[in-house]
Amino acid sequence: MKGTEADALGTYSAWILSRRRTLSKESAILKVPVEEVYAATNNLHESNFIGQGTAGVFSGNQQVAIKHNTNEGCAETFVREVGSLAHIRHPNLVALLGYCESEGECFLIYELCPNGNLSEWLYGKDNVLSWIQRLQIAIGSARGLWVVHAYPGGCIVHRDVKTSNILLGANFEAKLSEFGLSKVMNSDGSYASSEARGTFGYVDPEYQSNRLVSAAGDIYRFGVVLLQILSGRRVINMNMKKPMSLDKIVITIPCVFSFFLVWNNNSNNSSFIVEQAKSLTKYGSTAEFADPKLHGEYSVEALKLKFELALSRMALKQKRPSIGQIIVKLEEALDISTRTKASSPDWSLVP
């Protein structure tokens, strides 16, 4: 199997030559000839390929991530990513270092994040993130989102915030990635989309009904991510051989919370993580929502604060907190947890 055949979209690590080619006078992004990309990756050789889909890596002297896209229409996502990240640098955003475009092929060159993505750590069999690490990752992700929402050139709405798009650096610092669906907002802060865009389970129900793209949609998506960080649960667990498209789900499920309520023959496997969380607020304890892999090593007070914070993002758009307010609350939860850990060896017994 050749690396180029493994998937139309792959990510590779490679050595990039040191001489700089700027995209523009204002940008530090390199424009790299396609010949250098192929030379640096040994013609995308399979020996260095370590993943499929949106993740795959090629080794070299200096490791970076190179996303290779040959899908039809790849130019649209290519332009979006370059446009969104060309002028922004922040520790909690994956750094776009260069690009290459050549006859139906698009390459984007990023810094390499050696610890993979958040999804791998939440759902990997042997990978366990501590409570403190989870809070730090949540804070870092929120800060990255704040940077793009507050961009002086116009609010950048990510539109695909999810655990697999939160990369982890060498010290597990969170870096928001994958801006292929992003949209720069106009002065009124909204944009009418002709079609539903995003990932199943993360999309704001209000966006499903009115197609208005706004920063509030990212807040909703981030709330879902927080619930995943808390619980270690997937967004949805369904025994479906073929998932439906977003538009088809809206048509077939006549409910304003169509992304919260999905039914199949096995009721134990049909609930969204959001619906599970809401049920606990009525019939159970928030502690029941904690990831069992934490083995009780967390602050109950901080867990409750973060749980309530996550659910507040599921409110109607005008009632959702801003990303700045979210960061303040998450930092409060981290402070509580740090003090609790220092004062008690048994976290979960401390209210």
Q: Where are the beta strands (DSSP E) in 173-314?
A: 174-176, 183-184, 191-192, 212-213
Structure tokens at 81: 């990513």
**Per the residue annotation, which of 160, 204, 218, 291 is the catalytic one?**
160
Say whether 118-349 and 3-111 share the same fold: no
pTM (predicted TM-score): 0.78
pLDDT at 282 over 70: no
Cβ-based burial of 339 (10 A; exposed 0-12, middle 13-18, buried ≥19): middle
**Spatial separation of the C-alpha atoms in residues 346 and 162, rounded to whole Å:** 31
Q: φ and ψ at 175, to 5 degrees?
A: -135, 115
Question: DSSP string covering 18-46, please?
Answer: SS--EEETTEEEEE--HHHHHHHTTTT-G
Q: Which CATH superfamily is domain 3-111 in?
A: Phosphorylase Kinase; domain 1 (3.30.200.20)
pLDDT in tens, 325-348: 999 999 999 999 998 888 775 655
Structure tokens at 334: 């981290």
Backbone φ/ψ region at 87: left (φ over 0), alpha (ψ -120 to 50), beta: alpha
Question: Residue 246 belongs to what H/E stretch?
Answer: helix 246-252
pLDDT grade for 3, boundaries at 50, 70 and 90: very low
More confident residue, 177 or 346: 177
| Residue 291 bears catalytic tag | no
pLDDT in tens, 96-128: 888 888 777 888 888 888 898 999 999 986 879
| Cβ proximity of 203 and 164 under 8 Å | no
pLDDT grade for 4, boundaries at 50, 70 and 90: very low
The topology under which CATH files domain 118-349 is Transferase(Phosphotransferase); domain 1 (1.10.510)
Question: DSSP string covering 98-117, please?
Answer: EEEEETTEEEEEEE--TT-B
- Whose structure tokens read 């907190």? 321
- Residue 130: predicted pLDDT: 94
- Residue 145: predicted pLDDT: 96
- Whole-Å CA distances, 136 to 172, 240, 253, 257, 327: 9, 34, 37, 30, 11
Mean pLDDT over 308-312 rounds to 77
Mean pLDDT of the chain: 73
Q: Of 189-193, 231-235, 256-260, 324-328, where does mean pLDDT reach its minimum? A: 256-260
Each domain of the chain, given as residue ranges in start order, spans: 3-111, 118-349
Long-range contacts for 55-58 (Cβ within 8 Å, ≥24 apart)?
A: 55/10, 55/11, 55/116, 55/117, 56/3, 56/6, 56/7, 56/10, 56/11, 56/12, 57/11, 57/12, 57/13, 57/112, 58/3, 58/12, 58/13, 58/14
Cβ-based burial of 32 (10 A; exposed 0-12, middle 13-18, buried ≥19): buried
More confident residue, 285 or 333: 333
**Spatial separation of the C-alpha atoms in residues 39 and 34, rounded to whole Å:** 9
- Whole-Å CA distances, 318 to 104, 187, 225: 42, 18, 20
**Rg (alpha carbons) of the chain, rounded to whole number:** 21
pLDDT at 186 over 80: no
More confident residue, 3 or 68: 68
- Whose structure tokens read 């008690």? 344
More confident residue, 214 or 76: 214
